[in-house]
Homo-oligomer: A and B are copies of this chain.
Amino acid sequence: MLHGLWRYVVPLLFALWFANSGAADLIVEKKTHVLSRFTTEGGRTLRDVRIGYETYGTLNAAKDNVVFIPHMFLGSSHAAGKYRAEDAEPGYWDGIIGPGKAIDTNRYFVVSADTIANTNARDPNVVTTGPLSLNPATGKAYGPAFPLLALRDSVRAHKALLDSLGVRTLHAVAGWSMGALQAYEWAASYPDAVARIIAVGGAAQSTGATIGWTNAWAQALTLDPKWKGGEYEPGYEPEAGLSAAIQGQLMAVAHHTWIDAAFGRRWADAAKDPRIDPASRYLWETQQAAIGKYFAGIVDANSYVLAIRAIQNFTVGGAETLEAGLAKVRAPTLVIGVPTDLLVAESALKRDVDVLQRRGVRARYVVLEGAMGHLEGRYGIVRLADTIRAFLDE
């Protein structure tokens, strides 16, 4: 009965990873904007910072129909559409971004952009300046010498990109996970420019638990002898360490209810009983390995650690306290949370809404039910399409 199942489920999970509900036919292209000079929050000046971005829909004459989509950890600006019609899967939020969809590209000009020091720096569709880029001071890659970043750095860089397009106001900023953190940061940094935000599965301040999860992943990565304190040569990435880190990450982002239902105790190979042969594996273990290997092939390890630091250090507005940071947010805010989310607890999201409401900001908390945990913000978000559409119309 189980024979050969793994051949089906591995591709199925990969399909799920990229899957979307829409009949997507947007064809998109990656564009590049260059900031000739950029000074980080920490005071380091970078030259020729390259920012990859994608746009969906058309900018209107008033330039006031823009929705910006900051992306998640291990993500990129490929939020919707396909690069080529034959691509297996469209961008990650294609279920809610496109013609007639919740974020309707017949009405909105949707823009997404790659973060500075994007984790997926080895993905050919990502354009970024980070640890793998040449440090003009040395003529070699920055490596671990690339400066510590705040999420606000990417927000400021993306603001400069939008300025270059003549866009001065945003109808909305909407993001999932690390993208939600940036949505909050947009509202705090540019209160006059941001009309509303949607924060899915991300809090205005990272919790101690988020610090702990991400630390555990970084601990695994940095054990790889190829890590060398970040001083690996480009082309010799610590891929085993990245894979192990991401396998741990999966346990935080995919709730156990879903893992039990979708994989349970099935063996990877029906002919190989793990109870007899210590080398035989369970199906979910081979899924963890396959997903780990996939990301290990596109992620840069120094960039992975930098992004973890940025997430750990995040309090909206660069403030000392959550309350002080949220005091800078005036935009109406739609917060979407998942009860099974282990990485970003609902309690933190509800607290954000409470703080905003007490300050008189129009903020609302909506539950996205589902067994997948944190990943529902990606795979289940289409179930809240009507909620998102209505919020954009308010």
Contacts and interface: CB of A to CB of B under 8 A. Distances in A.
Interface of A: 42, 148, 150, 205-209, 211-213, 215-217, 219-220, 223-225, 240-241, 243-244, 247-248, 250-252, 256-257, 259-260, 262-266, 274-276, 278, 282, 284-285, 288, 292, 309, 312-313, 315, 342, 345, 347-348
A282 B309 CA distance: 11
Given A212-B288, A260-B207, A312 B274 contact: yes
Given A150-B275, A208-B256, A215-B282, 4 more contacts: A207-B259, A209-B256, A212-B288, A342-B342
B211 A247 contact: no
A348 B259 CA distance: 13
Contact of A216 (B225, B241, B248): B248
A215 B246 CA distance: 12
Given A219-B247, A288-B215, A209 B252 contact: no
Contacts of A262: 208
Given A224-B223, A259-B212, A342-B342, A207 B244 contact: no
A256 B373 CA distance: 14
A285 B276 CA distance: 38
A270 to B, nearest CB: 13
Contact of A208 (B220, B244, B284): B284
A189 to B, nearest CB: 16
Contacts of A209: 251, 256-257, 259-260
B284 A247 contact: no
Contacts of A223: 220, 223-224, 240-241, 244
A244 B224 CA distance: 11
Given A207-B264, A265-B208, A251 B252 contact: yes
Nearest to A314: B275
Contacts of A219: 220, 243-244, 247-248, 288, 292
Nearest to A245: B220
Contacts of A252: 251
B216 A257 contact: no
A252 B348 CA distance: 19
A207 B274 contact: no
**By CB atoms of chain B within 10 A, which of A211, A247, A260 has the most?**
A211
A262 B220 CA distance: 24
Contacts of A313: 274-275
Nearest to A322: B265
A315 B274 CA distance: 12
B211 A278 contact: no
Contacts of A215: 247, 282, 284-285, 288
A285 B248 CA distance: 16
Contact of A225 (B225, B250, B282, B347): B225
Contact of A309 (B148, B205, B274): B274
A284 to B, nearest CB: 5
B212 A250 contact: yes
Contact of A220 (B148, B213, B244): B244
Contacts of A206: 265
19 contacts: A42-B276, A205-B265, A206-B265, A208-B262, A211-B285, A212-B251, A212-B259, A212-B284, A212-B285, A213-B251, A215-B247, A215-B288, A216-B244, A216-B247, A216-B250, A217-B248, A220-B223, A220-B244, A260-B348
